[in-house]
Amino acid sequence: MTARILDGIKIRDEMFAELKGEVTQMTAQGIRPGLAAVLVGENPASQLYVKSKIAACEQLGLASWLHSPPANVTTEYMLQLVADLNNDDNVDGILVQLPLPSQVDSKRVLEAVFPAKDVDGFHPVSMGMLVSNRPGLVACTPAGCMEILRRNNINMEGANAVVLGRSDIVGKPMALLLLHANATVTICHSKSRDLPEITRRADILVAAIGRAGFVQADWIKAGASVIDVGTNKVTDATEANRLLANFPQRLEKFRAKGSVLIGDVHPDAVNTAGALTPVPGGVGPMTITMLMSNTVKAARLRRLYGRSQPAFVAR
């Protein structure tokens, strides 16, 4: 039997419709939520991400501002820019697109963002709030994975959840969110021993390691729910042939285009998992959706609980 496909595009569309209603209501009350994006330099991938984020704002009726300092920007300049955005009452969310150039102290810049405007959830205060299960803004990709699980009625309570990857942006917050949903959580990383043995116990498996097709189909328990966070661009024909041997149509597309997006989970997992997020079209669309959701939430809560309060209610 093939896995149920956990469609991120469908959930994005649902959530966009919900958010649009919320934004319309707020706008009628004279509140227009706004996102300020900071894009340093000319990294093509970052440019594409930020463009999509601004487009999403426009689609939902949010205000947006793009600041694009040059690649040789200093840490001091970035700190001043963030301070200006913190003090701008029209700005509800501040997004500093990563990675920043090596001469910029990224940690200092991220720490300068007011937690109440930290729509990426990367500030240590936001992370601390999550650790202690207090309300706050949560990193977009793991928050999106949770929406996928919830909206597909996948049981988390008492489930064995295994998270592959321990990054600050995905693995760690994901593990905490699952823990707060009462799952029994195991975090694995590059030094973990006997990975297949651990993943085979997972009722819920989240793969966020950035290696194409790393999780083999037989590492997955029959019927498990698998969330594949990876989006790896494969350009090598031998690798594409190995990963897509059972998917002639996708292989055909690879041959025409010269590249294909592959998750961290081997495509053959569709035959072992019970439910699976596709790549593309699974977790990917949820990241921007949660950024929009966080911006609307920040706009609402900043007005309720004060303009620079780090903490506020309701996750």
The residue among 119 and 205 lying less far from ligand GUN, judged by its C-beta, is 119
| Residue 54 makes contact with ligand GUN by CB under 6 A | no
| Residue 96 makes contact with ligand GUN by CB under 6 A | yes
Active site includes 194? no
**CA atoms in the 13 A half-sphere facing the CB of 160:** 10
Active site includes 97? yes
| Residue 147 makes contact with ligand GUN by CB under 6 A | no
Kindly identify the residues of this chain, within the stretch 268-287, that bind ligand GUN according to CB under 6 A. 287
Q: Round to whole Å and give the CA distance between 234 and 267.
A: 13
The residue among 290 and 296 lying less far from ligand GUN, judged by its C-beta, is 290
Among positions 9, 66, 98, 179, the unique one binding ligand GUN when judged by CB under 6 A = 98
Q: How far apart are the first and last CA of the chain?
A: 36
Secondary structure string (H, E, C) spanning the chain: CCCEECCHHHHHHHHHHHHHHHHHHHHHCCCCCEEEEECCCCCHHHHHHHHHHHHHHHHHCCEEEEECCCCCCCHHHHHHHHHHHHHCCCCCEEEECCCCCCCCCHHHHHHHCCHHHCCCCCCHHHHHHHHCCCCCCCCHHHHHHHHHHHHCCCCCCCCEEEEECCCCCCHHHHHHHHHHCCCEEEEECCCCCCHHHHHCCCCEEEECCCCCCCECHHHCCCCCEEEECCCEEECCHHHHHHHCCCCHHHHHHHHHHCCEEECCECHHHHHCCCEECCCCCCCHHHHHHHHHHHHHHHHHHHHHHCCCCCCCCCC
| Residue 31 makes contact with ligand GUN by CB under 6 A | no
Size of the site for ligand GUN (CB under 6 A): 7
The residue among 122 and 254 lying less far from ligand GUN, judged by its C-beta, is 122
- Two tokens, residue 252: 């055909």
Residue nearest to ligand GUN (CB): 98
The residue among 98 and 251 lying less far from ligand GUN, judged by its C-beta, is 98
> Taking the complex as a whole, how short is the minimal distance between the CB of residue 196 and ligand GUN, in angstroms?
28
| Residue 120 makes contact with ligand GUN by CB under 6 A | yes
| Residue 97 makes contact with ligand GUN by CB under 6 A | yes
- Annotated catalytic residue, options 92, 117, 118, 120: 120
| Residue 148 makes contact with ligand GUN by CB under 6 A | no
> Taking the complex as a whole, how short is the minimal distance between the CB of residue 97 and ligand GUN, in angstroms?
5
> Taking the complex as a whole, how short is the minimal distance between the CB of residue 291 and ligand GUN, in angstroms?
7
| Residue 140 makes contact with ligand GUN by CB under 6 A | yes
> Taking the complex as a whole, how short is the minimal distance between the CB of residue 80 and ligand GUN, in angstroms?
19
The residue among 64 and 97 lying less far from ligand GUN, judged by its C-beta, is 97
Active site includes 92? no
The residue among 122 and 312 lying less far from ligand GUN, judged by its C-beta, is 122
Q: Round to whole Å and give the CA distance between 119 and 249.
A: 39
- Residues forming contacts to ligand GUN in the complex (CB under 6 A) are 95-98, 120, 140, 287
Question: Looking at the annotation, which residues are catalytic?
Answer: 53, 97, 120
